[in-house]
Amino acid sequence: MGRFVLRRLLQSVVVLLGVTLVVFLLLQLVPGDPVRVALGTRFDQQTYDALRERSGLDRPLVVQYLSYVGHALTGDLGVSFRSGQPVTSIVLERLPATGSLSVTAVLFALLVAFPLGVLSAMRSGSFVDHAARVFSQFGVSVPDFWMGIMGILLFAGVLGWLPPSGYVALTDDPAGWASHVALPAAAVGLVTASILTRFIRSSVLEVLAEDYVRTAEAKGLRRRVVIVRHVLRNALIPVVTVVAVQLASLVGGVIVIEVLFAWPGVGRLTYDAVQARDYPVLQGAVLFVATLFLLMNLLVDVLYARLDPRITLR
């Protein structure tokens, strides 16, 4: 177990180094002088010189990279070309908005996918099963931002039940947050729910065909005990990991929904940074999300090893 975690940890460190390299090189790919491009019409020599100095673009590439990684290790991701604020604090400020949206979306998805997936596997071929499959095929094919637009049209426009966009912090006004998060979370959650429904369904089907399930039935256990103790306990191990990975990818991945709903999260930050050509912020946001993604995956592996006793030996 310890060795398994250690090996995964080392792997993650190597990948993370690669990630920093990619993120670092992003700035080098900008055609021309990135500082100049970033300033655009707001160009003035003094600001330019200050930013240029600060960004260290005059130094050799290797030195720049090492210094970038060195600073990143201490939590320093540079300063915004626009506001001069430290990138780290700009990104962290956006985390609650994105975090609360992602978690709500995944919870919503689980609420739908868990019963639907389990039921459609247990009654495979039934009406429920067919409905679940149509639902999940619909969900994996539909663009979530289109669902968002349709949601706004129906719930904000026609019915007038929910605000069309905007954000209220959960800590300021829970009810206001809830009414604002409902539409974007449902739009994102619908897609996640479809993926999870498929996954849960096939996972449960696979376990239902296992010999040990027949063993459990041969023991005369109640159906509920067979399902909960023997089927779900095994079927949900891979599902837990997929849920965690989905959650991780949502943190950096709900860009379009955040733009559509004016939701001030990390995705929206990325979009704004792209529009403003604020490259340090873009780099910081991307690096932050990728790091979080890697950490979540590491966590998932450890979790997996804890849930499945067979892995501990490896």
Partner 1 sequence: MSAAGDRASADAGTPGGAADPSTAPHPPTRADLTSPRPVDDHPPTRAAEAGTLRRTLTALRHDPPAVAGTVVLLALLVVGLAGQWLAPAGINDVDVDQMLRPPSGAHPFGTDELGRDVLSRVLVAARVSLQVGLVSVGIALAVGVTVGLLAGWYGGWADNLLMRGMDVLFAFPVLLLAVAIVAVLGPGLVTAMVAIGVVYTPIFARVTRASVLAVREQVFVRAAVSIGTSDLRILRRHVLPNIAAPLIVQTSLSLAFAILSEAALSFLGLGVQPPAPAWGRMLYDGRGFITDAWWLGFFPGAAIFVTVLAFNLVGDALRDVLDPRQLTVSEARRSTR
Partner 2 sequence: MSAPVVPSPRAGGEPPGGEPVLAIDDLTVTLGTRNGPARAVAGVDWSVAPGRTLALVGESGSGKSMTVLAATGLAPRSATVTGRVRLLGRELTTMSETDRRRWRGRHVGFVFQDPMTTLNPVLTVGRQVTEACEEHLGMSRRQARSRAVELLDLVGIPAPERRVDAHPHQFSGGMRQRVVIAMALACEPELLIADEPTTALDVTTQAQIVELVADLRRRLGTAVVWITHDLGVVAGIADTVAVMYGGRIVEQGPVDAVFAAPGHPYTRALLAARPRPGAAGEELAAIPGAPPSPLDLPAGCAFWPRCPVRGDARCAHELPPLVPIAPGHRVRTFYPTTADGGATADPTTADGGATADPTTADGGATAEDRHQLRPEDR
Quick note: the x/- pattern for partner 1 over 219-258, rule CB under 8 A, is -------------------x--xx--xx--xxxxxxxxx-
Q: What is the DSSP string of 140-178?
A: HHS-HHHHHHHHIIIIIIIS--S-SS----TTT-HHHHH
Residue 53 vs 308, nearer CB to partner 2: 308
Could you tell me if 287 and 22 are in contact, meaning their C-beta atoms sit under 8 angstroms apart? no
Residue in 4, 69, 95, 124 binding partner 1, rule: CB under 8 A: 124
User: Is residue 129 within 8 Å of 120, Cβ to Cβ?
Assistant: yes
**The tokens 């689980």 sit on which residue?**
110
Task: Name the binder of 290 from partner 1, partner 2, none, CB < 5-8 A by kind.
Answer: partner 1
The token pair at 105 is 């979306």
Is residue 307 near partner 1 by the rule CB under 8 A?
no
Is there a contact between 223 and 137 (Cβ–Cβ < 8 Å)? no
Q: Does 237 engage in binding with partner 2 (CB under 8 A)?
A: yes
Q: How far is the CB of 243 from partner 2 (least distance, A)?
A: 18
Contact criterion met (CB below 8 Å) for 124 and 205: yes
- As measured in angstroms, the least distance from the Cβ of 300 to partner 2 is 17
**Interacting stretch for partner 1, rule CB under 8 A, among 38-46, 52-60, 83-91, 121-129?**
121-129
Task: Single out the residue of 176, 183, 138 nearest to residue 159, CA to CA.
Answer: 183
Contact partner, 222, from partner 1, partner 2, none, Cβ < 5-8 Å per class: partner 2
Check residue 150 for interaction with partner 2 (CB under 8 A).
no
Choose which of 216, 239, 289, 290 interacts with partner 2 (CB under 8 A): 216
- Rounded Cα gap, residues 235 and 213, in angstroms: 11
Q: Which listed residue (7, 42, 59, 219) binds partner 2 by CB under 8 A?
A: 219
* Residue 212 binds to partner 2 (criterion: CB under 8 A): yes
Burial of 239 from C-beta contacts in 10 A (0-12 / 13-18 / 19+): buried
Among 45, 220, 224, 275, binds partner 2 (CB under 8 A): 220
- Of 56-64, 186-194, 216-224, 289-297, the window that binds partner 2 (rule: CB under 8 A) is 216-224
Distance CA(81)–CA(276), nearest Å, equals 9
The total number of residues written for the chain in this structure: 314
Give first-to-last CA distance, the chain, whole Å: 7
Among 16, 95, 103, 182, binds partner 1 (CB under 8 A): 16
Stretch that binds partner 2, among 97-105, 131-139, 192-200, 215-223 (CB under 8 A): 215-223
At what angle are helices 266-276 and 233-253 packed, to 10 degrees? 30
Phi (first) and psi of residue 27, to 5 degrees:
-65, -35
Return the one option of partner 2, partner 1, none that residue 161 interacts with (CB less than 5 to 8 A, by type). Answer: none
By a kind-dependent CB cut-off of 5 to 8 A, residue 313 interacts, out of partner 2, partner 1, none, with partner 2
Half-sphere exposure of 255 (CA within 13 A, CB side): 12
Residues near partner 2 (CB under 8 A): 210-212, 214-223, 225, 229-230, 233-234, 237, 307-310, 313
